Amino acid sequence: MAAKGISRESATLGILLAPACLADNVMGERVAHFDWARTACGPLARWQAAQRIAVDMMMPSPFPCAVVWGADLTVIHNDAYLGLFPEGHETLGERFDVLWGEVWGHVGPRVFNVLEGRSSLVESEPVRIARGNDAEPAWFVFSYSPLRDEQGEVAGFLHTVIDTTASVEAQGNWRQQAQTFEGQIARYMADRERIWQLSRDAMIIVTPDLKLHAANPAWYRMLGWDEAAVQDSPILELIHPADRAEVTLAVLDTEHCQQLDTRMRHQDGHYRWLRWNVSFDGATLTAVGRDITEARDEAIRQSEALLRDSQRLEAIGQLAGGMAHELNNLLSGIGGSLELLQRRLAQGRLERLDNYVDLARDSVQRAMNLTHRLLAFSRNQPLRPKALDLSQQLWAMEPLLSQALGPEMRLQWQLDVAPWTVCLDITQFENALINLCANARDACLAQGSVTIRSVNQRLAKAFPDEHGLAPGDYVALQVEDNGQGMSAADLARAFEPFFTTKPLGRGSGMGLAMVYGFVGQSGGYVWIESTLEHGTKVCMLFPRSLEPLAQQPPALVLPARRAKGQRLLLIDDEHNLRLLMREFLCERGFEVCDVMDANSALERFRHEGPFDLVITDIGLPGGFSGRQVARAMRMINPQQKILFITGYTEQPVEQSLLDEPGTALMLKPFLLDSLAIQAQHMLAD
């Protein structure tokens, strides 16, 4: 080649491995002298060995071939390939997609496939090409074979063109030649040493006596060992003791055990999970392994999440079952009382009618208490928190708590003399303490002691973990008894709704659930400490409030007089309840206009107003809530008085809305008489 004018550098670093064979190759000369620096391939001297070898093997092929290399799909072709294009058409160093732009709809998908490492010989879809300037068009079949670089990644492909216009016999010969040529390229690109060095999977060779004969770089990187430390060492020493028996059996029976999951020891002492594919050639055992540690950890995390979801579903099922049981009992009492009341009225017997009414009302009151506890547990009950002195509030509750404990229980106090202010709903706080005292009484079998203590506590870090309470100032409140205590299994389920360890018929299992919901909704945290035969301590943390202590409001004197025809707008989508409220309010002297949804309410308010008071449910159909209705009405009349009534709402009632003058809230279910009294009280202000 030097004799033909090619420099020594080109001869040394050029593409030809067999210069004597290509001395008369015109395209080889063109390739050697072509200015490759202006293409994505770069100067000839810098071509990778894989690219040079592929070009050398392609050049002497008797049928049209081209090596397409790099991200720009630069074309390097042989002499026969040039005959596919008109004379004078520039092909060497051009982009493959430009050369074959006219048939790219056919060629493009095959190119994408081969760049992903998949070979193809598209015999069923030949391409019609006009060869040269005057030649008749001919049909050709394209073959695509991936070419890999020195890192084992697909860097280009071999494009082989086969003329299919010839006879079937000639076509078969061409195909055989093409496949033979592709096989030569494949054998070179699949060189075992390169795969061994570049593979991301661990590869090891083990002798029949289970000693490590060789390992590829990926194995050393994966497990942190150096070659000198483990070469020819027993492989079982690196296997987790629990997996060694399985590995030994797998080696003895490689025909039936081709895949195996084992733990191998890392150099720093921990173990990594690897999934091995094993092959035994009679002399050595070759295994290719992939690190599945993270995949197994993720699978374990998902399994634990599914278990937690299953436990939650079980708790929800228990909640639904317990609620259905309680409500069935209450509804049976109400239905039975009404049935007997109806029978006595039909018989004309008026004795004991008051008893039936009292029984029904007692069941209704118990149902009201149950729903309020459920709302407390769900943290969706509307609260009216106020700043209060915890010690003063507890002292004021002493008669109530003593009554809940009973005469044979001792109530002891250990209260902070200067507690920080907390912001709590007094009514719900009283209910929570009463529930805790009732539980303590039952745990002590009505004979024992209960200690209530409070102390200011400053958290330096999140409690109990980063997802819990933020660092800051809190007031700790503890209710401790000396009763029989709780087992670890019962302690784990203590806050579940309707879970109880009491005998059947004693307690609904909602007391601790209500406490849990109330404390959480108040921004605090509650937990239980208990062991069998050593009593139980319920611990609560409430955040410190910087609000000034609220002044004690004067006692409310509820009016008992009839209304004087004040106009009310009643909004509720529950038809039966709305009719009952309307009838009772009309009986008490109000003029009532009732509607079932927000749109109707706003229309009545605009065209039939003014109204002295608007009574609205918060959850309404039609996309507008009672809160939105109230805001719209106050845009028309800023002084409009509004009484909210609700049983449940997904969004808590904003405290700022309740603090506005002329605004009040009642929780369903309530007595109709209480509704009328509240309406009269608001109209009297």
Q: What is the pLDDT of residues 444-502, one digit of tens each?
A: 887 889 999 999 999 888 998 888 899 999 999 999 999 888 888 888 888 877 677 66
What is the C-alpha to C-alpha distance for residues 37 and 30, in angstroms, rounded to an integer?
14
Distances (CA, A) of 553 to 161, 386, 518: 97, 12, 24
| C-alpha–C-alpha distance, residues 417 and 407, integer Å | 27
Identify the architecture of domain 386-543 in CATH.
Answer: 2-Layer Sandwich (3.30)
* Mean pLDDT (the chain, rounded): 80
Task: Tell me which architecture the domain covering 567-684 has in CATH.
Answer: 3-Layer(aba) Sandwich (3.40)
For the domain 2-194, what is the CATH code?
Answer: 3.30.450.20
Asked whether the predicted pLDDT for residue 5 surpasses 70, the reply is: no
**Is the separation of the CB atoms in 101 and 111 below 8 Å?**
no
CA–CA distance, 74 with 95 (Å, rounded to integer): 5
Let me know if the fold of 2-194 is the same as that of 386-543. Answer: no
Q: pLDDT for 635-644, tens place per residue?
A: 999 999 999 8
Lowest mean pLDDT among 165-169, 529-533, 627-631, 664-668: 165-169
pLDDT of residue 16: 45
> Is 374 a residue whose pLDDT tops 50?
yes
In this predicted structure, what is the pLDDT of residue 479?
93
Phi, psi of 379 (to 5 degrees): 60, 30
Domain ranges of the chain: 2-194, 199-291, 311-377, 386-543, 567-684
Contact by Cβ (8 Å): 642, 569: no
- Which stretch of DSSP H or E encloses residue 448? strand 448-459
Higher pLDDT, 462 or 188: 462
Residue 3, token pair as written in the block: 């004799």
Mean pLDDT check: name the lowest of 279-283, 435-439, 514-518, 597-601.
279-283
pLDDT at 29 exceeding the cut of 60: yes
- State both tokens at 441: 């009484």
Which CATH class for the 199-291 domain?
alpha beta
Overall average pLDDT of the 370-380 stretch: 57
456 and 422 Cβ atoms separated by less than 8 Å: no
- For 342, residues 6+ apart whose C-beta sits below 8 A from its C-beta are none
Whole-number CA gyration radius for the chain: 43
> Which of the listed ranges 174-178, 288-292, 567-571 does the model predict with the highest average pLDDT?
567-571
pLDDT digits (tens, 9 = 90+) for 94-103: 999 999 988 8
Highest mean pLDDT (candidates 246-255, 345-354, 415-424) = 415-424
Q: Say if residue 186's pLDDT is above 80.
A: no
Q: Which among 371, 440, 431 has a CA at the least distance from the CA of 646? A: 371
To the nearest 10 degrees (0 to 180), the angle between helices 626-636 and 598-608 is 20
Residue 610, φ and ψ in degrees, nearest 5:
-80, 165
Angle of CA points 468, 474, 478, to nearest 5° = 90
Percent of the residues in the chain that have a pLDDT greater than 70, as a whole number: 81
**Cβ neighbours for 532, distance < 8 A, ≥ 6 positions apart:** 484, 485, 486, 487
Task: Extract the tokens encoding 257.
Answer: 């055990």
Element containing residue 340 per DSSP (H, E): helix 293-347
Token pair in block for residue 36: 């490759």
Tens-place pLDDT, residues 113-147: 999 999 988 777 788 777 665 667 777 888 999 99
pLDDT, tens digit (0-9, with 9 covering 90-100), for 205-233: 888 888 888 888 888 888 888 888 888 88
Distance CA 5, CA 598 (A): 95
